[in-house]
Structure 1
Amino acid sequence: MLETADVENLSTDILKSVSVEIRVSVGSALPTIDELTKLQTDAVLPLDKRIDDPVELFIGDKLIAKGHLEEVAGTEDGQLAVRLTEIGDASQDLG
């Protein structure tokens, strides 16, 4: 029979193997419906952030970290990565 501590350890081990999707936000735009309907290929949609502003990392709606976009070294296809500059915790509000 499993002891309570064994069940807790098993549960923790199972949770550690679960993948979590992290969304990286580079900015947002607030076009009108009229402006949206006029967008075409090669149109430029201005965002509320500058190129050097930090990006925000979210799990669901929770802001968990901030960082800067970088290109992964050694890749030929320009793969993006995020260098973390701030990491939040339950008691810290990054917003």
Structure 2
Amino acid sequence: MPDASNPVDEGPANVFSTVPVEITISVGKTRPMIKDLLNMGENAVLPLDRRVEDPVELYVGDHLIARGELEELDGEQAGQLAVRLTEIADLKSPQK
């Protein structure tokens, strides 16, 4: 029986509400030549197509679900990365 105090339990659409989903955060892309990759060693730098201040993209599978900004957490989680969401994708329209 659904718990009336918890709106997540309402209706069949929320049957999957407790199933974990893996989200991939894309910070950028690059297209190096294979010969350049083979010549890379420790401390090599691989430039990306984005700047540090550019938004990152959040994907579930190959579907863009949001954009956001990288942040570093404080307190007990100091040094851990997080994403502050700045834009939610329109999940109702078909994606290309």
Name the TM tier (shorter chain).
Answer: 0.7 to 0.9
Of the structure 1 ranges 21-30 and 67-76, higher mean CA displacement relative to structure 2 is found in 67-76
Unmatched 5+ residue regions in structure 2? Answer: 1-10
Of the structure 1 ranges 69-78 and 29-38, higher mean CA displacement relative to structure 2 is found in 69-78
- Do structure 1's residue 60 and structure 2's residue 66 form an aligned pair? no
CA distance in 1, matches of 2:61, 2:50: 21
SS for the counterpart of 1:85 is: strand
CA distance in 2, matches of 1:92, 1:13: 22
| Cα RMSD (Å) | 2.2
Alignment of 1:27-42 (within 5 A): 27-42=28-43
Measured against aligned partners, the alpha-carbon deviations of 1:14-57 in whole angstroms (never above 9, x if no partner) come to: 31111000000000110011011011000000000001000000
1:5 paired residue number: none
Q: Give the structure with the larger helix fraction.
A: 1
- Do structure 1's residue 22 and structure 2's residue 23 form an aligned pair? yes
Give the TM-score normalised by structure 2.
0.79
2:5 paired residue number: none
Aligned residues: 86
Deviation at 1:12, TM superposition (A): 3.5
4+ aligned runs moved over 6 Å, structure 1: none
SS for the counterpart of 2:52 is: coil
Alignment-mate amino acid for residue 85 of structure 2? L
